[in-house]
Amino acid sequence: MKIIIFDFDGTLGDTQAVVVKSFKETVVRGGYDEPSEKACESVIGLSLDDCFKVMLKCDDAEAFRLSEIYQKDVFPQNVAAVKVKPFPYVIETLEELKSQGYVMTIATSRAKDSAMSLIPMSGVGQYMSDIVTPQDVDNGKPAPDLAQKILEKYCAVPSETFIVGDAPYDVMMGKNAGCKTCAVTYGNGSPEALKQVKPDYMIDDIRQLTDILGKCL
């Protein structure tokens, strides 16, 4: 069985604008100065609590407080005004991979309720056999737990499993799980930051994934 584990935000779905806007509003509502766009982008890919802990250097309790503001008040209001779309050529690529018999899944740092709303909205949900969120595991990215959950369910061999993501945390999760890794450069992570974690492959266009998979799996 050939498994592909995709990240969602910044890899399949173009959510950066609404996420950054929501981070900024949450931090300000929480009593802090507005963070820079770069600071917000740098933590996308972590679980929500960890985003605030890294961004603001705050403790667990404060991160939880801010996460509650984000999830209950800020993000739902912002995303209601924006239809989350897939990146260019994502749907066509997923169609092609499905026709080739790949089992496709998502391992996301997005909370379950939010993931189950946005992923279908983007149009990619119909191609996925599984969606795993931080609520399903003990540790979020960059720990291997999300990937391992999928590997165990499908009795998959890590060396024959591909992790595809846009953030260093996705690549680190894949490496920690023993999987092959492919970083996409069109999402939230900068090419420089992605190179530092040494993915097996880096691509600028999701369509390149089909050629890489054909050679490796």
Q: Tens-of-pLDDT digits for all 217 residues of the chain? A: 589 999 999 999 999 999 999 999 999 999 999 999 999 999 998 999 999 999 999 999 999 999 999 999 999 999 888 788 999 999 999 999 999 999 999 999 998 988 998 999 899 999 999 999 999 999 999 999 999 999 999 999 999 899 999 999 999 999 999 999 999 999 988 999 999 999 999 999 999 999 999 887 6
State the angle between helix axes of 60-69 and 48-56 in degrees (0 to 180), rounded to the nearest 10.
Answer: 120
CA proximity to 6, closest of 113, 121, 114, 87: 87
3-14+84-216: CATH, from 3.40.50.1000, 3.40.1280.10, 1.10.8.60, 3.65.10.10: 3.40.50.1000
Say how far apart CA 5 and CA 12 lie, in whole Å.
11
Map out the domains of the chain as residue ranges: 3-14+84-216, 16-80
Ramachandran category for residue 32: left, alpha or beta (phi over 0 → left; psi -120 to 50 → alpha): beta
The confidence score (pLDDT) of residue 154 equals: 95
Read off the tokens for 53: 């802990």
The confidence score (pLDDT) of residue 216 equals: 76
Say how far apart CA 44 and CA 25 lie, in whole Å.
15
Distances in Å between the Cα of 62 and the Cα atoms of 39, 47, 137 are: 18, 15, 22
Token look-up 């530092």 returns 196
* 191-194: long-range pairs with CB below 8 Å, 24+: 193/42, 193/168, 194/166, 194/167, 194/168
Say how far apart CA 50 and CA 53 lie, in whole Å.
5
Per this entry, what is the length of the chain?
Answer: 217
The confidence score (pLDDT) of residue 192 equals: 95
The confidence score (pLDDT) of residue 1 equals: 56
Token look-up 């309790």 returns 61
Read off the tokens for 136: 């399903």
The confidence score (pLDDT) of residue 96 equals: 96
The confidence score (pLDDT) of residue 22 equals: 95
The confidence score (pLDDT) of residue 146 equals: 98
Read off the tokens for 5: 């584990």
pTM value? 0.88
The confidence score (pLDDT) of residue 172 equals: 97
CA 154 to chain centre: 20
The confidence score (pLDDT) of residue 142 equals: 96
Provide the CATH topology of domain 16-80.
DNA polymerase; domain 1 (1.10.150)
Say how far apart CA 115 and CA 146 lie, in whole Å.
14
